[in-house]
A and B are shown apart, each in its own frame.
Chain A
């Protein structure tokens, strides 16, 4: 058996295997015997037909097909041993020739991850500040929430709440009429047509007004799209929003606060934690991106395909959270084929795969391990979120598969934390020192 191995780009090896003739011959005869066992050949009991009869009846092609199926796995294994190649995933037979028998196989091998000088990576975490304006904005929102609608007797303004009868006529026909409809007058309001609210401005209670406005092109009822409508409007009632004063009283109604300042402090505190979390997420992201950028990562295409599979699966699961949706009909709505969507996801998959590989390497290089009981703790934490069904959830999570994925999640997040610590300069070069000691 002659074997040549050629390293292709992206972590694949092409093996060219030439199988010895005697061996092929032997296999051919074995194959013939098997065929004669499986298929009825007139004049012979099962398995008793001689080689030349089988050959005549089924042809050499069929025999070679059988030989190929039989021989490929064993020959492949031998070739791998001979070349000392560790296959990472299933190899693919790309070409097969007979007489002489030459097999060409592409074997994916383990991805290469070189993180480079990731320990030298230093990034400054973003400053988190909460401006007075942001606090004021939240305060304003609280104020509006606690405002009260009170009747007013003056011409209508934007921001008012109006109770109106509406009648819309298109081409002489009444297309809809609405009695005592409550409308919030806002410039950007789309109901019933854009610009309607402005037309109401200036009306007083009891007044009737008529005006023409076109329906927008994207109106739900397609027959009306783009058509001019004649509106008749009668204003029944008008209310304005009266905001409460910003004082300690408001603070007391909002919650457990004594003074307005306490409320403000709490708002500021909330905004800060939120901003900090956001900043932390962004920073983690940045660190990871920088790490991947510094690294040299190569991977076999099968890995990418697997990543894509899991991306699609996740997408499907997310969509199924919504009643009646799944990936297939969602794609149908967007008039996209599964393949197109898969291609669209490709760059994202590459990115995610690289990050995953880099983190895996960090786990390895930093010697990150899980302490005893960490997985169990995590299961406990996750399942307690299910409340009454905690026991069920705990059982489900304790399956070996889930345990493994929880363990790997934990390792990954530990690696992430380590990377962040490195980037912040909080980690001494303890690893190097340890090595020196050894």
Chain B
């Protein structure tokens, strides 16, 4: 898998912005990717040194309108990447 396929998008929320202060950046990554691949991809793309990667499998979510109509949100994989102290990336500058 090519490294540009591994990382799909940065997650831009209040929480991730707060964590970015401490060098922790959050991405949606390909569901097949593992921590090593994420680390490699981030180091390559943003030119930074990655300290550690935490991965969370976000389960699919189902919602209902009324009794019948079921909506689904797919499952996805979230990776929180911790950079070496002093390193930073500008992931929130537009996508």
Chain A interfacial positions (CB closer than 8 Å to B): 42-45, 48-50, 52-53, 56
* Alpha-carbon gap, A42 to B16, bound state (A): 13
A contact face: mostly helix, strand, loop, or mixed: loop
Chain B interfacial positions (CB closer than 8 Å to A): 11-17, 92-94
B49 → chain A closest CB, angstroms: 26
B94–A56 touching, CB < 8 Å: yes
Partner of B92, one of A44, A45, A48, A52: A52
Q: A48-B14, A53-B12, A56-B94 are in contact. List 15 more A-B contacts (CB 8 A).
A: A42-B13, A43-B11, A43-B12, A43-B13, A43-B14, A43-B15, A43-B16, A44-B13, A44-B14, A45-B14, A49-B14, A50-B17, A52-B92, A52-B93, A53-B92
**What are 18 residue pairs bridging A and B, where the CB atoms are less than 8 Å apart in the complex?**
A42-B13, A43-B11, A43-B12, A43-B13, A43-B14, A43-B15, A43-B16, A44-B13, A44-B14, A45-B14, A48-B14, A49-B14, A50-B17, A52-B92, A52-B93, A53-B12, A53-B92, A56-B94
Q: Which residues does chain B contribute within 8 Å of A48, judged by CB atoms?
A: 14
Q: Which residues does chain A contribute within 8 Å of B14, judged by CB atoms?
A: 43-45, 48-49
Task: Report the number of A-B residue pairs with Cβ-Cβ less than 8 Å.
Answer: 18
Closest A residue by C-beta to B14: A44
B17 → chain A closest CB, angstroms: 7
B63 → chain A closest CB, angstroms: 15
A45 → chain B closest CB, angstroms: 6
* Alpha-carbon gap, A56 to B94, bound state (A): 8
Closest B residue by C-beta to A49: B14
Q: Which residues does chain A contribute within 8 Å of B17, judged by CB atoms?
A: 50
* Alpha-carbon gap, A44 to B16, bound state (A): 10
Q: Which residues does chain B contribute within 8 Å of A44, judged by CB atoms?
A: 13-14
Q: Which residues does chain B contribute within 8 Å of A45, judged by CB atoms?
A: 14
* Alpha-carbon gap, A104 to B30, bound state (A): 54
Q: Which residues does chain A contribute within 8 Å of B11, judged by CB atoms?
A: 43
* Alpha-carbon gap, A48 to B17, bound state (A): 11
Q: Which residues does chain B contribute within 8 Å of A56, judged by CB atoms?
A: 94
Q: Which residues does chain A contribute within 8 Å of B12, judged by CB atoms?
A: 43, 53
Closest B residue by C-beta to A43: B13
